[in-house]
Structure 1
Amino acid sequence: MTQKNNIPAGIALMIGATIVFALQDGISRHLAGTYNTYMVVMIRYWFFAAFVVALAARSSGGIAAAARTRQPGLQILRGLLLAGEICVAVYGFTVLGLIESQAVFICYPLLVAALSGPVLGEKVGWRRWAAIGVGCIGVLIILQPGMGVFNPWAIIPLISAFMFALYGLLTRYAARQDSTATSFFWTGVVGAVGMTAIGMWFWEPMVPRDWGWMALLCVTGATGHWLLIKCYEMAEASAVQPFAYFHLMWTAILAITIFGETLRLAVIVGTVLIVSAGLFTLWRERQQG
């Protein structure tokens, strides 16, 4: 991959990816609210697997080169972990709503920073720990434990964030020996196999209109990943990563206008703290990079 470092183009691609992923969240909520979550994620993974196989077939060395790895166990664990995380996240959309789920989920960069020490052996200084603490306060403000109105389902997006953070760290670890193309290939194929083994037992008839939404969900999934790949080809990750928080804004707009969700003051305050802490953590990584 040739790094062009065209930051304006990279930012535009990242914002485009956040729009697509927000649409994907909305469609996932609609379908999983009507059909079994495992089945919805399984069909989504079939298309995703076809996408990564097609990319691998067109690359230098073909599918054999993309699939070649000296750490298959790690790649399988990564793939299954992401598939499980998607199931948890989509289920969270149906029981908690898009806004509250995403508001808690965006703490995952802080979890990555916290876990990078024990998982990757990286040094985490006091400034990052302070940012992680601020982010945790933001999460607590959103969840409101002990206020008499705490919804136990609110723990679901926190579990999803933890799983995604661990997936991200394992991806970094895998990158020490495998290329991005190899990790991407294993992610799609392993996820499809794992979800088929589970989802086939939960198959439900789907009305023709929802097959259209299912097709759109598959297309948005592939398009979102393609935009991210192009984004990181265009610019350094540290320059474009802060714009990933646009995902929350698009999701909130979709949730309010389409699904009739409301935006609580506690969610706004907590989200501001989490995003601020996340941006500070990204800035510290860039300073030390």
Structure 2
Amino acid sequence: MTRADARLGILLMLAATFVFAMQDGISRHLAGEYNVLMVVMIRYWFFAAFVIAVATRKAGGWRAAAYTSQPVLQVVRGLVLILEICVMIAAFVVLGLIESHAIFASYPLIIAALSGPILGERVGPWRWVAIAVGFVGILIILQPGVAVFSPAALIPLTSALLFALYGLLTRYAARRDSTATSFFWTGTVGAVAITLAGVWFWEPMTGPDWGWMALLCITGALGHWLLIKCYEVSEASAVQPFAYFQLVFASALAIVVFDERIASNVAIGAAIVVGAGLFTIYRERMSQRRLSS
């Protein structure tokens, strides 16, 4: 990988995180006015169409992308992700963008903690230290045992757990399936599942909100396209640390548009969580280099 590839990959990752942050803001607005399942359902219809369009342009078309020897695993992956998205959007409405993203930032630490028992990967002592430190940060954000603790703060933590499980299942699926295959199953399974649930909660939308819904669909497809391009030109380990900028962009949007405020415990806890997550990514990258050398 050249230096130019690394720079382009970083720029694409930053662009993707910015688009995803804008998507989160739109999701918060729409889910505050309409049922979460309906909002996610319409978004997933567009996402599934995007996934199928991408698959048809690959060698062998959508049939090649759909072929898998582990369909049950792929279906479970798709179901876990759609559940995670619904839970996270609910967290945006209940808690706001800042606190939800601060807690959700713990998912790389959860992946690192569970990669041993689930994937059989070795987690070294330094990564265990980083995991422990990161969860101290989560406790600082949650403030358990004090009068102001809100059980609603467990909603984004549940989302982080689900997304970590999705990430681990994706790693497991990658041992036998291509990225194109996993991407295809993610979009199509999610669209079918959320339609079966969301169609019962259909509500009429205003004209302006249909505009926001269209923008939500476009940002969803654009964000995934940027992410795909990012991983095509650069190594995942080189650009993954920059995914944390979604927390920065979402927080800025929350302050400017939704008049949210950053509590001191959230700022301190988020800094600890992000720092521990970056260290975990660094140690994983070093481990991969030792294995490949």
Give the TM-score normalised by structure 1. Answer: 0.98
1:234 Cα shift?
Answer: 1.1
**2:55 counterpart residue number:** 56
Q: How many residue pairs were aligned?
A: 287
Amino acid at match of 2:50: F
Amino acid at match of 1:38: L
Q: SS at 1:59's partner residue?
A: coil
**1:89 counterpart residue number:** 88
Mind listing any 5+ residue stretches in structure 2 that lack a counterpart? 289-293
**1:287 counterpart residue number:** 286
Mind listing any 5+ residue stretches in structure 1 that lack a counterpart? none
Amino acid at match of 1:251: A
1:47 Cα shift?
Answer: 0.3
Q: SS at 2:33's partner residue?
A: coil
**1:269 counterpart residue number:** 268
1:126 Cα shift?
Answer: 1.2
1:4 Cα shift?
Answer: 6.7
- Cα distance in 1 for partners of 2:228, 2:188 equals 18
Per-residue Cα deviation, 1:242-268 (whole angstroms, up to 9, x for no partner): 111110011000000100100011011
| Superposed CA RMSD | 0.8
1:287 Cα shift?
Answer: 0.8
1:273 Cα shift?
Answer: 0.4
- Cα distance in 2 for partners of 1:116, 1:242 equals 18
**1:173 counterpart residue number:** 172
1:95 Cα shift?
Answer: 0.4
- Cα distance in 1 for partners of 2:200, 2:2 equals 46
Superposition pairs for residues 120-159 of structure 1, below 5 Å?
A: 120-159=119-158
* Paired residues of 1:20 and 1:220 also in contact (CA < 8 A): yes
- Cα distance in 2 for partners of 1:186, 1:161 equals 21
**1:119 counterpart residue number:** 118
Amino acid at match of 2:226: L
**1:47 counterpart residue number:** 46
**1:7 counterpart residue number:** 6
- Cα distance in 1 for partners of 2:58, 2:210 equals 31
* Paired residues of 1:4 and 1:233 also in contact (CA < 8 A): no
Identical pairs, percent: 66
Per-residue Cα deviation, 1:179-220 (whole angstroms, up to 9, x for no partner): 000000000000000000000000000011100000000010
Amino acid at match of 1:186: W
**1:210 counterpart residue number:** 209
Aligned pair 1:100/2:99, yes or no? yes
Amino acid at match of 2:124: G
Amino acid at match of 2:207: P
- Cα distance in 2 for partners of 1:232, 1:62 equals 21
- Cα distance in 2 for partners of 1:68, 1:287 equals 34
* Paired residues of 1:4 and 1:234 also in contact (CA < 8 A): no
The worse-fitting range, judged by mean Cα deviation, of 46-55 and 121-130 is 121-130
Amino acid at match of 2:76: L
Give the TM-score normalised by structure 2. Answer: 0.97
Q: SS at 1:189's partner residue?
A: helix
- Cα distance in 2 for partners of 1:266, 1:129 equals 23
1:147 Cα shift?
Answer: 1.2
